[in-house]
Amino acid sequence: MIRHLNLTLAIFKLILFYVFMRQMIRNACEKDLDEIYKVELKSFKIPYPCHYLKMLLSIAPTYFLVAEEEGRVLGYISGIVRLGKIGHIISIAVDPDHRGKGIGERLVKALLEKFKENGMKKVRLEVRISNIAAINLYKKLGFTIEKRLKNYYPDGEDCYIMTKKLC
């Protein structure tokens, strides 16, 4: 019985290793924008326009990352630096066909590391109050709800401002 469990665990670890080795997090580049925009369109009721994503990439390329597998963009995260050494996560999206695989978590962790390496003391983001999966992910990663903003989104939905201290 124990041998069977050990073998099962070993196989599971190999599968995880294979999946994670095929996926990589890297800095985005301009040639990724078409695929990033496709993920954006699949992910949001009110997507950012492509020219806005291009602007984010041009003003803060250090803080614009993609998750890639075999040359295909599966997700992205974009951030900027605000006054007072505050990192701001502007947007994160994972292709709906690839959600639930830890890609979003790895993207957030990678961006948090970039912010920390570059001297940020705090990170903030806005999230729809209806986006329970994202809120739970951010809480898991140490974010707390700071306040609620009424009618933040164009469709009238409120958002939470969530923050995390980086030490």
Q: What is the CATH number of the domain that holds 115?
A: 3.40.630.30
User: Number of H helices and number of E strands within the chain?
Assistant: 5, 7
Residue 5 maps to a domain: no
Other C-beta atoms closer than 10 Å to the C-beta of 121 total 13
Residue 16 maps to a domain: no
Q: Is the pLDDT of residue 18 over 80?
A: no
Say what the pTM is.
0.85
Give the whole-angstrom CA distance, residue 20 versus residue 40: 23
Residue 21 maps to a domain: no
Residue 108: Cβ-neighbour burial (10 angstroms; 0-12, 13-18, 19+): buried
Which domain range does residue 56 map to? 26-165
In the prediction, which pLDDT does 17 show?
Answer: 52
Residue 57 maps to a domain: yes
Q: Is the pLDDT of residue 16 over 60?
A: no
Cβ–Cβ under 8 Å, residues 128 and 157: yes
Give the whole-angstrom CA distance, residue 124 versus residue 17: 31
Please tell me which residue, 95 or 84, carries the higher pLDDT value.
95
Average pLDDT over every residue of 8-13: 60
In the prediction, which pLDDT does 15 show?
Answer: 56
Cβ–Cβ under 8 Å, residues 154 and 138: no
- Structurally, the chain folds into a number of domains equal to 1
Q: Is the pLDDT of residue 11 over 70?
A: no
Residue 50 maps to a domain: yes
In the prediction, which pLDDT does 47 show?
Answer: 95
Residue 2 maps to a domain: no
Residue 12 maps to a domain: no
Residue 76 maps to a domain: yes
